[in-house]
Amino acid sequence: MNPKKLKKLKKQYRKVATAAHQSSYIQELKHYGELFNDFSSIKFLINNALLNDRLLRSGLLPQPLPKMLLPDDIQDTIFKEVNAKYPQGDPQGDKVWEKYTTALPKLDRLLRNYRDYLEETYGMWSYTNSSFTNALSHYLAGAPILEVMAGNGYLSKGLRNSNPHQEIYTTDSQAWVKENETGRHPVTKIEPLDALAAVQKYGNQVKYVVMSWAPDKGEQDWQLLQLIRQDYPDLQLLVVGEKNGATNSPTFWQNAHLSQPDALQKVNQYLKTFDLIDEQIYLAK
């Protein structure tokens, strides 16, 4: 077979396989929503996940999420519900109980993997919800901003939705796009510039630089902070990430002077974590 044709077929296969995986995740959630229909605490979590998936598929930003974890006492709740419906020793009750308890670990794993689903499906790493971007827009008060390492541009999109008249420069090196299918679907216009080049181009035109979920490999985040300190001391750098965790380089966290003044804390309350990753927004100097 012609090498070019073979390459094209492989790309098509990967695309179909990815779509199937995405669809199966949502189908599984819907299945468990029907199975646990009588348990409001479970339905609440599943409905939140499905609602935000629909919003993202419609080109909208998602809403804040609750903790995507099953309640600690969920087995006790289910046990009481089954006992209330079936007499003790009833084989049908035992069968229902087994069905629920067999499904719980699978549902728990599914809910815990919601962020992975968002990453693989929509290229959304930081959970950029509409309440957070509205609060951040209020904090920025219309000042011109530069977003670096923007990924697919969810944060800039949210800010533009809140204030269409704000000057926003959205940039990303897009080096990762070649290896990641989700990078081919930006949600706003993105200028192909790495973080350092972006600051050198726009640093004198903006008040804020926003960096969200910088990679934990490499040290461009630290190089960016050094550049701002040296050449653009009046710029304010806002960083969204998990301190000493899933985002940014260790060198950045060790050397950045971080603060969360009261006005920023009001923004931060809308960046509530829904899993084990505790992302927050900081001023970094």
What is the tens place of the pLDDT at every residue in 127-142? Answer: 999 999 999 999 999 9
* H or E segment to which residue 21 belongs: helix 3-35
CATH of the domain at 208: 3.40.50.150
pLDDT value, residue 174: 83
Give the Cα separation of 211 and 48 in Å (integer).
Answer: 27
Torsion, CA 158, CA 188, CA 68, CA 85, rounded to 10: 100
pTM of the shown model: 0.86
Give the Cα separation of 88 and 61 in Å (integer).
Answer: 48
The domain in which residue 33 lies consists of 3-122
202-260 pLDDT, tens digit per residue, is 999 999 999 999 999 899 999 999 999 999 999 999 999 999 999 999 999 999 999 99
pLDDT value, residue 184: 63
264-280 pLDDT, tens digit per residue, is 999 999 998 899 999 99
Give the Cα separation of 146 and 256 in Å (integer).
Answer: 19
40-49 pLDDT, tens digit per residue, is 999 999 999 9
Say which DSSP state 169 is in: E
pLDDT value, residue 180: 60
pLDDT value, residue 113: 96
pLDDT value, residue 179: 59
Residue 2 has pLDDT above 70, yes or no: no
Residues 90 and 160 in one domain: no
187 within 8 A of 164, measured Cβ to Cβ = no
Give the Cα separation of 275 and 206 in Å (integer).
Answer: 34
Residues 198 and 239 in one domain: yes
> Which tops the pLDDT comparison, 179 or 110?
110
- Cβ-in-10-Å burial (0-12, 13-18, 19+) of 44 comes to exposed
pLDDT value, residue 23: 72
**Which of 122, 149, 172 is where one domain is finished?**
122
Tally the C-alpha atoms within 13 A of residue 121's C-alpha that lie toward its C-beta.
Answer: 20
Which among 235, 239, 187, 191 is positioned nearest to 212, based on CA atoms? Answer: 239
Residues 140 and 53 in one domain: no
pLDDT value, residue 226: 98
How far, in Å, are 156, 172, 206, 227 from residue 232 at the CA level? 22, 20, 10, 7
Which among 198, 54, 60 is positioned nearest to 134, based on CA atoms? Answer: 60
**Which of 122, 143, 160 is where one domain is finished?**
122
pLDDT value, residue 90: 87
**Which of 70, 103, 122 is where one domain is finished?**
122
> Which tops the pLDDT comparison, 6 or 49?
49
**pLDDT tier at 183 (50, 70, 90 boundaries)?**
low
Residues 153 and 22 in one domain: no
Give the Cα separation of 45 and 55 in Å (integer).
Answer: 16
Both tokens of 183, joined, read 């990078």
pLDDT value, residue 13: 36
Q: Which neighbouring-strand residues pair with 211?
A: 148, 239
**For the chain, how many structural domains are there in total?**
2
262 within 8 A of 268, measured Cβ to Cβ = no
Residues 147 and 107 in one domain: no
Residues 140 and 190 in one domain: yes
Residues 146 and 60 in one domain: no
Cα end-to-end distance, the chain, whole Å: 56
Residues 116 and 233 in one domain: no
Residues 112 and 136 in one domain: no
Amino acid in position 10: K
> Which tops the pLDDT comparison, 120 or 200?
200
Residues 145 and 255 in one domain: yes
Residues 111 and 134 in one domain: no
* H or E segment to which residue 210 belongs: strand 208-212
66-124 pLDDT, tens digit per residue, is 999 999 999 999 999 999 999 888 899 899 999 999 999 999 999 999 999 999 999 99
Residues 157 and 209 in one domain: yes
